[in-house]
Chains A and B, each alone.
Chain A
């Protein structure tokens, strides 16, 4: 409870200070809008439903992209964990690609897929796949040898050993992978949308910027941040915590 009060007080002070500074400085809303301007932009956006269409469109892309990247990431992660040759070759490429922000692929993606949904989804897939791959690989590699030995003495081997013991034992890493993949995919999606077509939150941000509507720009920025945090906090952190406790990796 204490923490929520602290946070509430902090954000109220922040908003008041922001409002006060902009008023004192005498900036116009097309340079630096006040919180009240941003609030009006939000109300307007939700009122004429543009922001709602944006949210639906963005989430659709995100969902498709994330789903593909999770499937690819799980497959690649298992491959890298199981095959030393793949790990030494493909693994090094994936590590190298990890340091390239996925948005730099957009020019190529537009050439391949056109200036449309597919190009943005491609960027989202790239954003999520690499981090999921790396986590899945770690998860499989870090399975306690004790579990494997115990399962072997109970007659489990081969595919059965993998499906019934190794994969479930790797679940905590996989969950962390999904959480990070979501965060990377969300960032990639916003970047992709800004440089691509709408509807979508990123597209509306760029559209607002073209028309000098800085209130709407900040409104969208806040929306992006709030959604990103809320999904992580309300869903992923909770799932991760439960899994960690069940798997005995964290004392409850």
Chain B
């Protein structure tokens, strides 16, 4: 039991109306697993991830990493956000060195940064500033930055959601390669079914209103995966069916909201 999410509940109170965001989430992830959390917008998948990161608190329940309860953010969990969140006043190399400042001498930190920039194939851009890079390159720097501090887990919150289709496909291949190389446990939040099938060992499908886990699907296909494989198409259809009800729920809610306002 590497990561253990135990009876997590989350409520938001808005104008005295209590809103259930997550209800009784239980999930166990093994070391080295690539797990996707898939669900429609508003299902609380990002909230769940930020709880694992220690950036937000659960209303009840607890999350344990290797037996230790998560209370605060820490370097044992590297996080990659949808926006690269690179610091614009630092160049690429300095950005990757940011989490290493305290635990390493400058020379060692520099070497480590170089190593991970090489892994994401951006060695030549070490001296560039973030605004000089494309979105895909920025996201690769963010991945290098998260990996450089040698975390036990990599948490990714729709990391490729803001990229164009071609770039996203390239990033998938690169992430898969990095995952095989580093053997990191990855928790990957996405709303794209094909993305989750392409990348993960397991897909946790979440439903909405309130956010619950509605399915835990093992993806047992050889890598690298292709979308024209029969099994992949079959799996996509299956998940689509699961999510259809949930998306209908969201649409209905939105329509009734529109009608009442």
A89 at the interface (CB under 8 A from B): no
Which residues does chain A contribute within 8 Å of B53, judged by CB atoms?
153
Q: Which residues of A contact B87 (CB under 8 A)?
A: 147, 165, 168-169
Which of these binds chain B: A106-114, A220-228, A241-249? Answer: A241-249
Q: A149-B81, A246-B88 are in contact. Are A154 and B55 (CB under 8 A)?
A: no
B102/A155 in contact, CB under 8 A? yes
Chain B residues with CB below 8 A from A149, complex form: 50, 55, 79, 81, 85
The A contact surface, by secondary structure, is: helix
Interface-central residue, A154, A164, A169, A245, by most chain B CB under 10 Å: A154
Q: How far is the CA of A144 from the CA of B11 in the complex (A)?
A: 25
Chain B residues, CB < 8 A from A150: 79, 81, 85
Q: Is the CB of A154 within 8 A of B149?
A: yes
Given the complex of chains A and B, what is the CA–CA distance between A150 and B98 in angstroms? 11
User: Which chain A residue has the least Cβ–Cβ distance from B101?
Assistant: A164
* Chain A residue with Cβ nearest B129: A246
Cβ A246 vs Cβ B131 within 8 A: yes
Considering the complex, give the chain B residue whose CB is closest to the CB of A167. B89
Chain B residues near A164 (CB-CB < 8 A) = 98, 101
Which of B55, B102, B145 meets A152, CB within 8 Å?
A: B55
Identify which of B73, B83, B102, B131 contacts A153 (C-beta below 8 A).
B73
Q: Which residues of B contact A247 (CB under 8 A)?
A: 88-89, 131
Main secondary structure of the interface of B (DSSP, over half): loop
Given contacts A245-B131, A248-B130, A248-B131, contact A155 B74 (CB under 8 A): yes
CB distance from B238 to the nearest CB of A (A): 34
On whether the beta carbons of A146 and B85 are closer than 8 Å, the reply is yes
Chain B contacts of A171 at CB under 8 A? 89
User: Chain A residue with minimal CB distance to B103?
Assistant: A155
Query: Which residues in B have their C-beta under 8 angstroms from that of A99?
Result: none
- CB 8 Å contact bits of A67-90 with B (1 = contact, 0 = none): 000000000000000000000000
Interface string of A148-182 (1 = CB under 8 A from B): 01111111100000001100110100000000000
Taking a contact as CB atoms under 8 Å apart, the answer to whether B89 and A154 are in contact is no
**Which 5 pairs, one residue from A and one from B, show the smallest C-beta to C-beta distance?**
A154-B99, A150-B85, A153-B79, A248-B131, A152-B73
- Partner-A contacts on B (CB < 8 A): 50, 53-55, 73-75, 77-79, 81, 83, 85, 87-89, 98-99, 101-102, 129-131, 145-146, 149
A–B complex contacts, Cβ < 8 Å, 21 sampled:
A147-B87, A149-B81, A150-B81, A150-B85, A152-B73, A153-B53, A153-B75, A153-B79, A153-B146, A154-B75, A154-B98, A154-B145, A155-B74, A168-B87, A168-B89, A171-B89, A245-B131, A246-B129, A246-B131, A248-B131, A252-B131
